[in-house]
Amino acid sequence: MKGLILAAGRGSRLLPVSATRPKHALPIAGVPIIRRAVHALREAGVHDIGIVTSASSEADLRDATLGSGHLTFIRQAEALGTGDAVLCARDFLENQDTLLYLGDNLFEDSLRPVALGLPGTDAVIGVKQVSNPQAYGVAVVDKGQLRRLVEKPRHPESNLAACGVFAFAPQVLDHLAELAPSERGEIEFPMALTSVLAAGGRVRAVEFKGFWSDAGAPADLLSANAFFLSRLASRTEGRGNGNTTSGPVVIEAGAVVEDSILRGPVWIGPHATVRGSTLGPNVSVGPHARVNGATVSASLIDEFAHILHPSRPLRHAVIGRHAVVTAPSDAGLQLVIGDRSVVRL
């Protein structure tokens, strides 16, 4: 079985943090989303993995997956939908069964049941009960079999969302190749499953019970960050002095943490510096970041960011790379806000 991760998009709902790199390269509890995707496929027993990229995303994704073993990068020339992305990888798939992963998803559960559910059917779809199915592609399932998919219905027939992972046999690519573009002008992979059903084929549904996020918006990033932080075990490889800690706290090699209160779960990345601050719960501090004299909770601070004596606590904050958050000067409040930024004062 081949593995295929779709990661060509940048993620407009995550602007501005996705303005300079694809959302799949963003860190969740210190690990890039794309690296978590690769790990999920390998844990499911799939080791020959392709990643569909764009010209603007490939370099960042290569950097984010360093150390993840052999990967094949496949270029999608235009953003013409998930179905087109799969068709771009047709030569790589070599007429084999495929485990397909939409690259901005994050799962607690193993993907093995999806991969192992393929024999005897045309395709398998992962589904998850959600409280707001109208925001997703909704799967109507009967006795473990998919009956139909409806994209963002006003009046959902079920509360099962299609959650971004599929397995499919080679013949599904023939259905995909015959699809016309959707109203958005894109070829969507789930439409191929509708075509399979219309032709009398079978699609099995596998329901996930654990945590799932599609990391599409800042709130999703923070909830995923909190979940994966909660799974950490305390570990100190950096240097700490005069700190008070509770709960799981990880201080990576090269980090310096002094005179601070750490309420886990907290992750402090390599070569970060934290002094005189209160962090947590649910805070990650990226590599080489500096946090001085700050109170931060439920937040994601990326690499090389500087949080220096802000006048207010930070909560539910997403701070991008090289960003600076500090106290007002004598001249008063200063804001330098880029396109699509969000500030609540």
Residue 86: band (very low, low, confident or very high) from pLDDT cuts 50, 70, 90: very high
- The distance of Cα 281 from the centroid of its chain, to the nearest Å, equals 21
C-alpha span between 246 and 296 (Å, rounded): 15
In this prediction, residue 239 carries a pLDDT of: 96
Task: HSE, CB side, 13 Å, CA atoms: give it for residue 136.
Answer: 22
Residue 115 and residue 99: Cα distance in Å, rounded? 6
Q: What is the mean pLDDT of residues 315-324?
A: 93
> Residues near 142 by Cβ (< 8 Å), separated by ≥ 6?
none
pLDDT reading at 125 higher than 70: yes
Number of domains in the chain: 2
What is the CB neighbour count within 10 angstroms for residue 13?
12
pLDDT tens for 98-124 read 999 999 899 999 999 999 999 999 999
User: What does the block give as tokens for 205?
Assistant: 């549904």
Distance CA 67, CA 85 (A): 25
Name the residue with higher pLDDT: 182 or 242: 242
Give the per-residue pLDDT at 217.
Answer: 85
Q: What is the 3-state secondary structure (H, E, C) of 80-120?
A: CCHHHHHHHCHHHHCCCCEEEEECCCEECCCCHHHHHCCCC
pLDDT for the residue numbered 333: 74
CB 265 within 8 A of CB 249: yes
**CA nearest to 292, candidates 279, 270, 307, 280:** 307
User: Which position has the higher pLDDT, 84 or 79?
Assistant: 84
pLDDT band at residue 345, thresholds of 50, 70 and 90?
A: low
- What torsion, rounded to 10 degrees, do the Cα atoms 128, 167, 178, 196 define? -70
Residue 204 in any domain: the answer is: yes
Helix, strand counts (H, E) of the chain: 8, 30
Contact in structure between 203 and 154 (CB atoms under 8 Å): no
Query: CATH number, domain at 287?
Result: 2.160.10.10
Which stretch of DSSP H or E encloses residue 213? strand 212-213
Q: What is the pLDDT of residue 334?
A: 73
Q: Is pLDDT of 344 > 90?
A: no
Task: Flag whether pLDDT at 339 surpasses 70.
Answer: no
pLDDT over 70 (residue 324): yes
- Does some domain include residue 340? no
pLDDT at site 28: 96
Which two tokens mark 135?
Answer: 């925001």
- Confidence check: pLDDT of 237 > 70: yes
> Is the model's pLDDT at 89 over the cut of 90?
yes
Alpha carbon 219 to its chain's center: 12
13-46 per-position pLDDT tens digit:
787 887 788 899 999 999 999 999 999 999 999 9
**pLDDT tens column, 244-303:** 999 999 999 999 999 999 999 999 999 999 999 999 999 999 999 999 999 999 999 999
> What's the N-to-C CA distance of the chain in angstroms?
51
User: 8 with 104: CB under 8 angstroms?
Assistant: no
Residue 66 phi, psi (nearest 5):
-55, 135
Domain-embedded: residue 339: no
Q: For the segment 189-226, what is each residue's pLDDT rounded down to a tens digit?
A: 999 999 999 999 999 999 999 999 988 888 999 999 99
On whether both 203 and 293 belong to a single domain, the answer is: no
Q: What is the pLDDT of residue 269?
A: 98
Q: How high is the pLDDT of residue 340? A: 66
Give the confidence band of 147 by pLDDT, cuts at 50, 70, 90.
very high
In a domain, 272, yes or no: yes
Average pLDDT, the chain: 93
Cβ atoms of 169 and 97 within 8 Å: the answer is yes
203 and 243 inside one domain = no
Using CA atoms, how far apart are residues 22 and 9, in angstroms rounded to an integer?
7
Structure tokens that stand for 240 in this block: 């700490």
* Range(s) of the domain holding residue 76: 2-220
**Same structural domain for residues 40 and 89?**
yes
Q: Identify whether residues 275 and 310 lie together within a single domain.
A: yes
Task: Report pLDDT for 183.
Answer: 81
Name the DSSP class of 16.
Answer: T
Specify the CATH number for the domain of residue 164: 3.90.550.10
DSSP 169: -
| Res 331 pLDDT > 80 | no
pLDDT value at position 34? 96
Does residue 121 contact residue 174 with C-beta atoms inside 8 Å?
Answer: no
CB neighbours of residue 239 within 10 Å = 12
Same domain as 268, residue 131: no
| C-beta atoms surrounding 43 within 10 Å | 11
Cβ-proximal residues to 200 (8 Å cutoff; 6+ apart), any chain: none
- Per-residue pLDDT, averaged over 301-307, amounts to 96
* Residues 270, 255 contacting (CB under 8 angstroms): yes
> Is residue 44 domain-shared with residue 90, that is, in the same domain?
yes
Regarding whether 215 and 246 lie in a shared domain, the answer is no
CA 54, 24, 170 angle in degrees (round to 5)? Answer: 65
Pair 80, 104 in one domain: yes
Q: Specify whether 138 is located in the same domain as 170.
A: yes
